[in-house]
Structure 1
Amino acid sequence: MNKPRYYLSALGMINALGNNLAVIARRLAEGDTSSMVTAPVSDAFGSLPVGRVSQALPAPPAALVRDDCRSNRLLLAALATIEIELEQVLSRYGRSRIGVVLGTTTSGIVAGETMLAEWAAGRAAPAGYDYQQVEIGAAAPFLAKVLDVTGPAYTISTACTSSAKVFAVARRWLQADLCDAVVLGGVDTLSSLTLGGFSALESISPQRANPMSRNRRGINLGEGAALFIMSRDEAPIALLGVGEASDAYHISAPDPQGGGAEMALRAALADAALTPSQIGYVNLHATATPKNDEMESRVMQRVFPAGVPTSGTKPLVGHLLGAAGATELGFCWLLLNGMTPSLPPHIWDGEADPQLPQLDLVQLGQGLRQRTCMSNSFAFGGSNVSLIIGG
């Protein structure tokens, strides 16, 4: 008996590449890194390459002014691009049957940083500051209030797998008949907290990220939001497989052999009832840190011994942390919908690391041969998620 399918019918997105899907798709296919700019970050960290959103962001409605922060404004910018599809879903199912689940790592921490800077200088908190802007769980309830929906709504924070895990949650809600449609995705903003934390871990590169290279030095951080609508209503792209695993090897370092990561990839393939040879493209986690790339390349060689076209897209937008999973699956969605004319190329210096298994890294202009894509996300604490979508 065929399993029921759950479809991803709409995508709203904003990141360093833009907030127009056609523009994002074109720049993705071109491997356009021009939005990764070296910018002064702070006195402590100097200037670093970051994927900063440059567009003006919408403010929340007056009734939600207490929720006004950059993180929520990024959500509103992504939401604005799927308003028509949302209205259709709301009209069909009613507001009590719509759920919201989002991933983030920092929520509105930038508002808290601004407030603390004023406090340290002996000044009053900025006008409009409210502690609820900073709460880690605030993102999904805020979006539920904006949409005026009363289905389940909560926020997930599992570091860099946060907005990948939301796809598993949304599917379970639909399977359990808790709702008929789910708005899901992730959001994160650039902040001193994350820049300082990753700098302390010696994980940030002073140059553009260089994944899978012998010269890789670490990540670049970015910001953005990505939102999908998932439902049982048939659409061109479906969520085919989800794999989750936890290895808890170390608080920040991955298991060098990638045991938990491999479990997640194989679980996603089994869930989708697909073999490795049926996957057309894999979006790698590919942070460009020495240990992550070493682990992931080993896992990919074991799971895909015959090879599969792969690339890491973080050099184009930065590592979006809590928003990375949804954003990178969004890149796969654009590809499968025909908006991206070719696979996202792997941007690096071309100098392979002889210590790593060699992968089939995508070249500029390379086409998609099979209409299935996998996206991998790995996080501190040993959280691993692999997602498969297809037509």
Structure 2
Amino acid sequence: MQIDIIDYESCSAAGVNLSALRTSLRQHQSGLIKNNLPGSDLDTWIGVVGQVSAVNDLGEWQSRNNRLAALGYEQGTIRSTVSGLINKYGAARIGLIMGSSTSSIDRTEEAYTKLNSENALTDEFRQPFVHNPHAPALFAAHLSGIKGPSLTINTACSSSAKVFATGSRWLETGIVDAVLVGGVDTLCLSVLHGFDSLQLLSPDPCKPFDQHRNGINLGEASGFAVLQRAGENDNAKGIRLTGYGESSDAYHMSHPHPDGLGARLSMTQALDRAGLPPSAIDYVNLHGTSSRANDLIEGKLISELFPGSVSCSSTKAWMGHTLGAAGITEAIIAMDTLQTNVIPGSKNLEILDEALNFSIKATDEPKVCQHVMTNSFGFGGNNCTLLFSRTG
């Protein structure tokens, strides 16, 4: 069964909405800034969504993660699209799937700095629905009024790519008539210093696949998309989820399999499910974190699986690696090329890693694409590949 994309929106340091993101991509204007996170003196660059501070206090739902989700949900027509589907099918017939790697750990981190004299949570931090791995979906259900099945997926950096695969299965089995999928992750000290302890952060703006890359930059983002069975909505965007692949090689907690076995499997599964040869793909949005190991393994896989005619880029230099929100952020960038007819370049790429040989450019490429793909590879070897196609 094929699945239509009815609506989508992205909110990141590269743009508070899809329109702003398109402008940043077109002008090659990155949202990365020198680290200014309160309490952190790490020498790195981060992608902060400054507009989060203007979001009203959420009361019992208060957390930076939920505020970023709320900000993203108000962009574009996502809210009105979901409201229309609820009116048509009923709130219980709409599903909800969110991806996140840290949920609202930012709020929990803050709570521990403000314990009372008995080392217990103060009243303002007694938030069982926030200090909760399922917090993103609980809050999104509160925001949207959706009462159908809900799920929060946490598979590290592939979390909000896998929401599309799960949503597709829910629609195929008929348990819902539409699905709101999304992802959200925010920066906090636990996240930033956790990655620093793994020696992964770069003191410079990241340079995916560049010979002189020296680590990643972290960012925050939220994003949403609405899925329905093909042909059931007149407002479809002309974009269809035609394939997906999921795998877990479980080679190491943080290092990918040296031969990329799981990543290869997720890509070939997506192609097989779509019934397409590698040569049919016009563009691949790469996971491309700018780490030495990840880029090398992914780049070699691309050159082995795809012909040189397939264009590739990594877009993390615009907003940083947004962790559990990276999957949907980059899925949106990939599928949006079917609307804009422009493939974004790989920002900051100067000299391609001498061990790699595939079609990747620093500059944009005007191109009418028919089929595009995006990769999301997470800790623990948890991989997801999505394939989107033009319907017209």
Same fold at TM > 0.5: yes
- In structure 2, the partner of 1:113 is 109
Q: With structure 2 as the length reference, what TM-score do the two structures score?
A: 0.92
Rounded to whole Å, the distance in 2 between the matches of 1:166 and 1:216 is 30
User: Helix, strand or coil: the match of 1:373?
Assistant: strand
Count of aligned residue pairs for this structure pair: 381
- In structure 2, the partner of 1:98 is 94
Which of 176, 180, 184 in structure 1 is aligned with 2:181?
184
- Compute the displacement of 1:134 (Å): 2.4
Rounded to whole Å, the distance in 1 between the matches of 2:212 and 2:219 is 21
Superimposed CA distance per residue, residues 316-364 of structure 1 (whole angstroms, 9 cap, x where no aligned partner): 00000000000000112222122xx52111112412222x222211342
Q: CA, structure 1 residues 279+115, in 2 after alignment: closer, same or farther (shift >3 Å)?
A: same
Q: CA, structure 1 residues 303+142, in 2 after alignment: closer, same or farther (shift >3 Å)?
A: same
Q: CA, structure 1 residues 314+365, in 2 after alignment: closer, same or farther (shift >3 Å)?
A: closer
Q: In the alignment, does 2:281 pair up with 1:276?
A: no
User: Helix, strand or coil: the match of 2:227?
Assistant: strand
- Compute the displacement of 1:224 (Å): 1.0
Rounded to whole Å, the distance in 1 between the matches of 2:28 and 2:358 is 18
Q: Which range is displaced more, 356-365 or 179-188? A: 356-365
Rounded to whole Å, the distance in 2 between the matches of 1:370 and 1:278 is 10
Q: In the alignment, does 2:132 pair up with 1:135?
A: yes
* Amino acid of the structure 2 residue aligned with 1:344: P
- In structure 1, the partner of 2:343 is 343
User: Helix, strand or coil: the match of 2:4?
Assistant: strand
Superimposed CA distance per residue, residues 173-209 of structure 1 (whole angstroms, 9 cap, x where no aligned partner): 1111110000001000001111111101100101111
Which of 16, 25, 30 in structure 2 is aligned with 1:28?
25
What is the aligned-residue identity percentage? Answer: 34
- In structure 1, the partner of 2:289 is 287
Counterpart contact for 1:29–1:364, Cα < 8 Å: no
Which of 321, 324, 327 in structure 1 is aligned with 2:326?
324
Counterpart contact for 1:343–1:362, Cα < 8 Å: no
Rounded to whole Å, the distance in 1 between the matches of 2:348 and 2:162 is 28
Q: In the alignment, does 2:65 pair up with 1:71?
A: yes
RMSD over equivalenced CA pairs, Å: 1.9
- Structure 1 gaps, min length 5: none
Q: Which range is displaced more, 309-318 or 4-13? A: 4-13
Superimposed CA distance per residue, residues 264-292 of structure 1 (whole angstroms, 9 cap, x where no aligned partner): 10110111111111111110000010110
Rounded to whole Å, the distance in 1 between the matches of 2:316 and 2:328 is 13
- Structure 2 gaps, min length 5: none
User: Helix, strand or coil: the match of 2:46?
Assistant: strand
Q: In the alignment, does 2:228 pair up with 1:231?
A: yes
User: Helix, strand or coil: the match of 1:41?
Assistant: coil
Q: With structure 1 as the length reference, what TM-score do the two structures score?
A: 0.93
- Compute the displacement of 1:75 (Å): 1.2
- In structure 2, the partner of 1:202 is 199
* Amino acid of the structure 1 residue aligned with 2:83: E
- Compute the displacement of 1:120 (Å): 8.9
